[in-house]
Every structure is written in C-alpha cells, then in structure tokens.
Amino acid sequence: MNRHKLKHTGDMYSCTQCEKCFPTEQYLRMHLDVHSGKYKCTECGKCLSNNQNLTVHRRIHSGDKPFECAVCNKRFAEFSTLFKHSRIHSGEKPYKCLECDKAFSQSGGLAIHMRVHTGDKPYKCSLCDKSFAQSSQLETHKRYVHSNKRLYDCYYCGKLFKTICGLKRHVYTHTGSKLFSCEHCSDCFKHRYQLQTHLLKSHSQGTWLTCEICKKKFSCSSNLKKHLRRHEGGKPYVCCECPMCFCTAAEFKRHMLSHSGCKRFFCGSCGTYFKYKDTVTSHFKRCSAQLGYISMLARQD
C-alpha cells in the first residue's frame, strides 16, 4: 500500500479520499479496501471493507433477516442493527452531549446534534448556496423551494403538496380538526403555534421571544427567525424565473404564481378563477353583495 494514502493528524489517522478518521494505522489500512473496490456488491455497487461485511450487506438484497427483536418481532440483517434497535424499547441513550447533556441512542444522532453547538452546516444547496446541518434538511429544502414536484395528494379534493406537513395543514380545512387544546380553558386550535400564542396572551404561560432590534414579540422561534431575516437582509428563496428573492417560503410561493398560468381559486358566486386566495376573498364579498342587490331589485319588480 502506498504510504502517501495515509495522513496522520494528531492522535488519529485519516483517509485522504474520504476524510474518515481512525485511531490506529491498522484500522485505516482495513478501511482503504473500501476505496479499492476489492469487496464490491454486484447488486448495487457498494464497496465494503472485508468479505464478512460484504456477506452481511448482501442480505439486504436477498431479504435474509435472521435477527429478530424479542419485543416487537421486527427482523434485521445484522446483529449490530438489532442491538441499536433494542435501545428504542429500553430507552437507553449512551451518547451524551458534553455541551448541554442531551442524550441520544445512536452515535449518528449525537454527531448531528453537535452541529447545533459548532454551527457546522456541511450540506450546501447548489442552487442558492444555503447550507444545512442534515442531508434530510437539504433534500426537503430542494423539494420545497426549488422543485415543482408535488408527491402528496389530498384524500378529500386531490390537491397536491410538496411536503407531508403542507398536506396535513391543508387537511384541517376539510375536517375542521383542532388537535391542540388549551389545558386551562375550552379553546382548541388547528396549529401548535396558535396554542402557544393563546397560552402567552390569555394565561401568561410560556416565554415571549423578543426581537433585539425592534422589540417585536413572537410565540415560536421559527417566526422569530423569519422576522430576523428582514433586519439582516437575508433572502434565501431565489426565483429561478427572475432576479427576485424572498425572506419566507410563503412570499416565494405567492410570487411563483405570477410566472404561472395556474388559477386555483374560484368565486362560488360567478365562477371566475383567480391566482391568489386573498384576491378571490375580496372579490367574493363584492360579487355576493352585487348579486344580493340584483336579487333584491328583481323581487321589487
């Protein structure tokens, strides 16, 4: 093996091809077999570090799962995966954060959490340069902001949505469900942030989040973050059709309708279609008032 493939950093040995670190040179040498392609899966092309790992990996394709959970009977291809899964039932969280004492059942969960303290955001969007701490956040961002793909359809009306959260919020308009109830009174709300605002205003429960610049108050951190972008000049939502940029996803979605011929909102009185919900709302008030006036004149005649 070529010595130039080894890079010794402090007490760790790191691979120059993928930057993974190992406590000994022997572990690094074993890892380098992954890059050599010596143990490569013929089904998916994934490379493993030794023949034993390749044999275990092949169970994914064959469906062989010899290890069964005694609690929920879920089966796994590897004993190590079953061992990690068992922590769901035991509640064991051996990986603890030294900064805030938060604990995790998986080492990967702790590694992702540590980015909260370090500010590390390794996943960068190639379309708008916005960065994220998790790959899942990047994929959601691309689908929600830069893609027009809508994979989730409403059972009641067939309307399509980019995210499952967007679909859930929409379903409330059909069911009228108010899942978030106040513990102090009989009021119920469709959204959690509405309940938080109610608790703060009516029952003085919780803590207001205050903008240090203009002293405006918010009940949830996400709304405060959106508000702060206006002071900082941050506009992460970039239109691919024109140079305009926006602070929030809602503003961006509204703007994108200006480039589309889609008119999803219609007036129940005259049947006219509109691009924007607030436009059809104001139109409907005028239209229904006019129809009522015409109907009154007809009765007088």
Buried b (16+ CB within 10 A) or exposed e, 21-46: ebeeeeebeebbbbeeeebeeeeeee
Amino acid making up residue 296 = M
Longest Cα pair distance anywhere in the chain, in angstroms? 101
Q: Where are the beta strands (DSSP E) in 45-88?
A: 47-48, 67-68, 75-76
Whose tokens are 């994220």? That residue is 132
So what's the architecture of 3-90 in CATH? 2-Layer Sandwich (3.30)
Per-residue pLDDT, 5: 42
Structure confidence at residue 7 as a pLDDT band (50, 70, 90): very low
DSSP, residue by residue, 54-76: HHHHHHHHHT---EE-TTT--EE
pTM of this prediction? 0.40
Look at the domain 209-257 and name its fold: Double Stranded RNA Binding Domain (3.30.160)
Pairing assessment for the beta strands 123-124 and 103-104 based on DSSP bridges:
unpaired
Inter-CA distances, 266 with 227, 231, 281, 290, Å: 32, 36, 9, 17
What's the CA gap between 108 and 244, in Å, rounded? 38
Closest of 139, 141, 166, 136 to residue 153, by C-alpha: 166
Look at the domain 95-146 and name its fold: Double Stranded RNA Binding Domain (3.30.160)
Per-residue pLDDT, 108: 80
Tens-place pLDDT, residues 172-219? 777 777 778 888 898 888 778 888 889 888 998 888 888 888 888 888
Coil, strand or helix at 95: strand
The two structure tokens encoding residue 40: 């490569």
